[in-house]
A and B are shown apart, each in its own frame.
Chain A
Amino acid sequence: MSQVIQIQPLSQPVQMPLEAAVFSAEVEAEIDRHLAKYPVKRSAILPLMFIVQRERGYLDPPGVLYLANRLALRITDIWEVATFYSMIQTNPVGKYHIQICKTLSCKILGEPKITEHVCNKLAIQPGETTPDGRFTVSLVECLGSCGTAPMFQINFDYHENLTPEKVDQILDSLP
């Protein structure tokens, strides 16, 4: 084999900011409620990441710094966890994140047709975001909706028993 394989770095270096993210008093109170559930602060890391994502669009470097301060952890501890979980976004995603289930039951009941329809309609490929930042399309693994396949999730909302017509309706009705 004469093919040369280029090894890509696993991730790009991140420039960490000096200033951590700041949240409103209500969000701080919500964070306190999560922290109160556990005898160990670190346990709240995933619930808190979701809050940072909700507030800032994704888990950005100031958000990471905030979590490190709030949980008394190192910055690397936060990145270590963030990069493990597929629902934690360390890069910006569209306002509407369309996650199409591609696992077996959805696959055999029409997922490819739904994916094609969504991608044609938005003129992007899975993994991409529309230039206006409104939509991101991802193919994801089983979302536990096999009895109502095919399906996708837009942000946290399930949309089931999809047909191309239903996809049009759903996407056209988003604010």
Chain B
Amino acid sequence: MRIEAIGCEPLQLRRVHLENSRSLEVYRRNGGYEAIKKVLDSMSPDDVINEVKKSALRGRGGAGFPTGLKWSFVPKDSPKPKYVVCNADESEPGTFKDRYLMERDPHMLIEGMLIAAYALDAKVNYIYTRGEYKYLIDIMDVALAEARAAGLIGQKILGKDFACEIHTHTGAGAYICGEETALLSSLEGNRGHPRMKPPFPAVSGLYACPTVVNNVETLTAVPDIIKMGGEAYQKLGTEKSGGTKLWSVSGHVNKPGVYELPMGYDDMEKFIMEDCGGIPNGRTLKAVIPGGSSVYIMRADDIIGKDVRMDYEGLVAAGSSVGSGGFIVMDETVDVFESTKNLTEFYKHESCGWCTPCREGTDWLVKVFKRIENGGGRIDDPQLLLDLCDNIEGKSFCPLGDAASWPIQSAVKRFPEDFKKRLL
């Protein structure tokens, strides 16, 4: 599996191939903890938030919400403690970038969290990691102990009047806990049920205190934004999608891996056919899910010769979205009916059961898929699937319902032939 930058100097992946890359020493020797020093020496919390705003950094977990804006929602005058929570619950099918960031460069995440904690005046902060990534929690604990011993965590950080604690926390196998309010419920020791928004976590999050939840890749972008300046970071990408983005490439490609691309990389066909080594065994491309299982599936015809730009706007224009950057490539041997059934089973399993449209809807969807698979497909089943999705999308308590609907809606509309051949 490859881990490399294409079309830009490696930024987030700068240190991943160095020997001992997870040690504090190597991190420091390669520019580490310079950003937090710069922040403590010369920047106010507002300066930090402004740099992040200028960087046009958007949340890398999937929703793509502007990070600086999210930070600015935290009320400064609140007497309550504030929290920064890192969302390392990476569970979106097709996504595995955060894993390598934490495995290879854990101090970059710690530095990003320190800067966020300084900007938001958060004293105690948590890294919520999915339970299956236990080895990453162990790696983070070692890195945190190293940082503490070096005076980078705790009281009087770098000799300044800045105190910050960072703790690891484990999930236990629930996809829904990647949704930020469900994550907070889980971190409070409850079932991972999402909460009503508003109030947004920035106002009432962890323990009903102002909280910012950011993805690993978002927080690890922050040290570079501080070092190079928000504007320079933004210019690596496009006007509205600043910086670089990690793409987790899997499925039918010769060179799967984690690729760092500048936002606005041109174009997707070149990325698949050249950078990722093309499709194995001389087969042809059939479909791509570019942003994790929750986004619209794309046909090869909408990619080949279409100059699809790889950024938030480019992918929306091409009929999908960046999501988490979980890039799943499928060749001609894949039956999109089957791939969609596979994902629908995922959403059924991961629905938290809190709201009726999602809990019942995903179950019904799977039942329809199974009936079709077992030879009982009826001519109006594609419409039935769309009707069911219509009753889930936008009507569920949290975005999991939407995420379950979009793959089906796009598959039924874009690959009708794979459904029709199974119908009576």
A residues neighboring B (CB under 8 Å): 37-47, 49-50, 71, 80-81, 84-88, 102-105, 107-109, 140-149, 153, 156-158
Contact = CB atoms under 8 A, between A and B. Distances in A.
17 contacts: A39-B124, A39-B207, A40-B188, A43-B187, A44-B189, A46-B171, A50-B131, A84-B352, A85-B131, A86-B172, A87-B172, A88-B173, A104-B94, A105-B93, A141-B91, A145-B96, A148-B1
B56 interface: no
Interface in B273-295: 289, 293
Contacts of A44: 189
A43 B185 CA distance: 9
Interface stretch (B8-16, B104-112, B243-251, B384-392): B243-251
Nearest to A143: B132
5 nearest A-B pairs in the assembled complex, by CB-CB distance: A42-B189, A146-B250, A85-B172, A87-B173, A86-B173
Contact of B133 (A41, A144, A149): A144
B172 A49 contact: yes
Nearest to B186: A46
Interface string B326-359: 1010100110000100110010011010000000
Contacts of A39: 81, 124, 207
B346 A103 contact: yes
A40 B207 contact: yes
Interface string B99-131: 100000000000000000000000010100011
B130 A144 contact: yes
Interface stretch (B38-46, B149-157, B252-260, B374-382): B252-260
Contacts of B192: 84-85
B189 A141 contact: no
Given A40-B207, A45-B189, A81-B189, A147 B174 contact: no
Given A37-B169, A158-B135, 14 more contacts: A85-B192, A87-B131, A88-B173, A103-B93, A103-B293, A103-B342, A104-B339, A105-B250, A105-B328, A141-B91, A142-B94, A147-B96, A148-B256, A156-B132
Interface of B: 1, 81, 90-96, 99, 124, 126, 130-135, 167, 169-175, 186-192, 207, 248-252, 256-258, 289, 293, 326, 328, 330, 333-334, 339, 342-343, 346, 349-350, 352
Per DSSP, chain B at the interface is mixed
Contacts of A85: 131, 171-174, 192
Per DSSP, chain A at the interface is mixed
Given A144-B95, A145-B96, A87 B132 contact: yes
A102 B293 CA distance: 14
Contacts of B134: 156
A104 B170 contact: no
B204 to A, nearest CB: 15
Contacts of B95: 144, 146
B131 A104 contact: no
A46 B342 contact: no
A172 B248 CA distance: 32
Contacts of B172: 46, 49-50, 85-88
Contacts of A148: 1, 256
Contacts of A140: 173
A123 B99 CA distance: 33
Given A87-B172, A103-B342, A141-B175, A146 B91 contact: no
A104 B248 contact: no
B257 to A, nearest CB: 5
Nearest to B136: A144
B170 A50 contact: yes
Nearest to B338: A107
B94 A146 contact: yes
A108 B207 contact: no
Contacts of A153: 132
Given A107-B342, A149-B250, A144 B91 contact: yes
A147 B93 contact: no
A115 B171 CA distance: 26
A126 to B, nearest CB: 13
B314 to A, nearest CB: 23
A142 B1 contact: no
Contacts of B126: 37
Contacts of B130: 144
A109 B130 CA distance: 24
Contacts of A142: 91-94, 175, 293, 346
B373 to A, nearest CB: 14
Contacts of B92: 142
